[in-house]
């Protein structure tokens, strides 16, 4: 375990007082990921921007999250989960207040970047605290604890569009930013009341172990790659060269420093972790493409209001909760991941038969299928990650796990922009569907061939 250990005894277990602040902080990211879904169109109307421009509201948060998750995870490992969690929740409150100003689209994009950075803390902090508590109790992390985090995240993601529609209907779209002030405040309060304090000042002794060169090279390489993925074009191909050069330099540095930012030798010897990352990337590419692309089509082509579009996705909440709860029971992971991939692929296939005249029952059925895939994905991959990751690097590895998820989200927003252009048409929806079918087939193949999931 890192030097930033916790001082509370293990006898308090994994009860509500431990889980409540972890859940309150961990849900800040998924709720901000999905609240924006039904606000893209009205924000675009306010500032005269089309889908290609409002897509930056999605990408900005995921870009910041993808880059900062492993950095935040490193801070958790080095300086303590509670400290990092409190700092992140406070940043979320500041961003929420800034979003209410709504000075321009560019201002809101900056607010989303700040939200992405602030919401990075919840997941790696939670995973690190659970792992440490399990070690103190000489047991594994209970699946019910992982299921609690997963169900909370899945529920928040799926009710996000519905909640966003209600907030917009009552107060206008700035409310989707303002809600972060009370949510962040609740996370801070619960953390102060119930999370065990980090170890005292000796945690600061690890300052000399930080790898600033590696962190900088990682950030530049990933940022260059993501900027190209978000807007692929011949004119921006130089970004691939920057990503390649800094990536090579990053590997060279990390293999030589005493305390690397990322232990590449551990990853090279631990193929199952890398495959878990890839499964998370593919699954959430599909999930976020539906979360945002399908909702935009419902509003622009089907002509539904923001509230009605959010209500169409509401069944995803119930089925995702049931699927996550079922995924926490019984043994085995591979068959659950296969079911998840099949559900996501089936939903993508049904999109090919969807147009502006499709009955509501078909649209709700799509939401149910994607809810099954969404509910099973996180609990199975989180369970695999807890078994595969070294304890002392749980924060950093959990951060990279979320990076893989938001790489999927960024890629999804790029596919949406390429498929739709300036209008979310039915033809664009069908083009997006073919891309998602390909991703689901790759997910099935990757899962079926991964023998580590059988052990």
**pTM of the predicted model, to two decimals?**
0.78
Same domain, 224 and 175: no
Nearest to residue 106, comparing CAs of 60, 40, 50, 172? 60
| 252 plus 268 within the same structural domain | no
* DSSP assignment of 262-289: S-HHHHHH-HHHHHHHHHHHHHHHHHHI
Do 183 and 322 belong to one domain? yes
Residue 360 shares a structural domain with residue 409: yes
Evaluate whether residue 9 is within a structural domain.
no
Q: Are 249 and 105 contained in the same domain?
A: no
248-295 confidence digits (pLDDT tens): 999 999 999 888 888 888 888 888 899 999 999 999 999 889 878 888
Burial class (CB in 10 A: 0-12, 13-18, 19+), 177: buried
Q: How confident is the model at residue 12 (pLDDT cuts 50, 70, 90)?
A: very low
Rounded distance, CA 402 to CA 66, Å? Answer: 7
- Kindly report, residue by residue over 377-414, the tens digit of the pLDDT: 878 888 888 778 776 788 888 889 888 988 888 888 78
What are the angstrom distances between the C-alpha of 260 and each of 71, 80, 218, 407? Answer: 12, 18, 11, 23
- Which residues lie across from 198 on neighbouring strands? 6
Domain of 238, in residue numbers: 211-260
pLDDT in the model for residue 455? 62
Compute and round to an integer the Cα radius of gyration of the chain.
Answer: 21
Give the pLDDT band of residue 152 (cuts 50, 70, 90).
Answer: confident
328 and 400 fall within a common domain: yes
Partner residues linked to 6 by β-bridges = 198
In a domain, 203, yes or no: no
270 and 179 housed in the same domain: yes
Going by C-alpha positions, the residue among 59, 116, 158, 108 that lies closest to residue 412 is: 59
Is residue 10, in this structure, part of any structural domain at all?
no
209 or 234: which carries more pLDDT confidence?
Answer: 234
**pLDDT-derived band at 9, boundaries 50, 70, 90:** very low
Q: Measuring CA to CA, which residue among 366, 372, 367, 373 is closest to residue 349?
A: 366
Residues 34-88: pLDDT tens digits? 888 888 889 999 999 887 788 889 888 878 988 899 899 888 988 889 999 999 9
Alpha helices per DSSP H over 119-142:
122-136
Residue 156, number of CB atoms within 10 A of its CB:
22
Cα–Cα distance, 148 to 20 (Å, whole number): 10
Specify whether 374 is located in the same domain as 444: yes
């Amino acid at each position: 375990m890192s030097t930033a250990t916790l001082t509370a005894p293990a006898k308090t277990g994994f009860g509500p007082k431990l889980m409540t602040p972890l859940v309150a902080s961990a849900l800040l990211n998924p709720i901000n990921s999905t609240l924006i879904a039904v606000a893209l169109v009205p924000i675009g109307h306010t500032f005269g921007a089309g889908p290609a421009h409002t897509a930056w509201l999605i990408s900005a948060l995921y870009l910041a999250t993808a880059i900062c998750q492993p950095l935040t995870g490193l801070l958790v490992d080095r300086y303590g989960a509670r400290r990092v969690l409190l700092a992140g929740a406070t940043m979320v409150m500041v961003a929420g207040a800034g979003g209410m100003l709504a000075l321009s689209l560019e201002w809101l994009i900056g607010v989303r970047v700040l939200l992405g950075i602030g919401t990075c803390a919840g997941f790696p902090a939670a995973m690190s605290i659970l792992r440490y508590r399990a070690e103190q109790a000489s047991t594994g992390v209970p699946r019910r604890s992982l299921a609690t985090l997963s169900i909370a995240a899945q529920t928040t993601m799926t009710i996000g569009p519905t909640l966003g529609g209600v907030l917009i209907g009552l107060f206008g779209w700035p409310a989707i930013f303002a809600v972060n002030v009370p949510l962040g405040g609740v996370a801070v309060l619960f953390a102060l009341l119930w999370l065990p304090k980090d170890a005292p000042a000796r945690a600061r002794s690890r300052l000399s172990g930080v790898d600033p060169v590696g962190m900088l090279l990682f950030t530049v390489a990933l940022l260059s790659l993501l900027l190209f993925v978000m807007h692929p074009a011949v004119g921006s191909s130089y970004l691939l060269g920057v990503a390649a050069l800094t990536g090579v330099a990053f590997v060279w540095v990390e293999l030589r420093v005493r305390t690397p930012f990322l232990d590449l030798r551990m990853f090279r010897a631990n193929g199952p972790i890398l495959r878990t990352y890839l499964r998370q990337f593919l699954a959430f590419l599909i999930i976020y493409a539906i979360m945002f692309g399908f909702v935009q089509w419902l509003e622009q082509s089907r002509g539904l209001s923001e509230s009605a579009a959010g209500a169409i996705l509401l069944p995803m909440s119930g089925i995702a909760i049931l699927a996550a709860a079922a995924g926490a029971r019984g043994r085995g992971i591979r068959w659950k991941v296969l079911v998840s991939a099949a559900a996501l692929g089936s939903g993508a296939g049904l999109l090919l038969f969807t147009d502006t005249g499709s009955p509501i029952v078909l649209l709700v059925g799509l939401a149910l299928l994607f809810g099954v895939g969404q509910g099973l994905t996180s609990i199975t991959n989180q369970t695999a990650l807890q078994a595969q990751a070294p304890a002392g690097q749980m924060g950093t590895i959990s951060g990279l796990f979320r990076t893989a998820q938001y790489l999927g989200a960024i890629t999804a927003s790029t596919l949406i922009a390429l498929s739709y252009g300036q209008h979310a048409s039915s033809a664009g929806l069908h083009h997006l569907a073919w891309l998602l079918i390909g991703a689901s087939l790759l997910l099935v193949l990757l899962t079926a061939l991964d023998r580590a999931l059988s052990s």
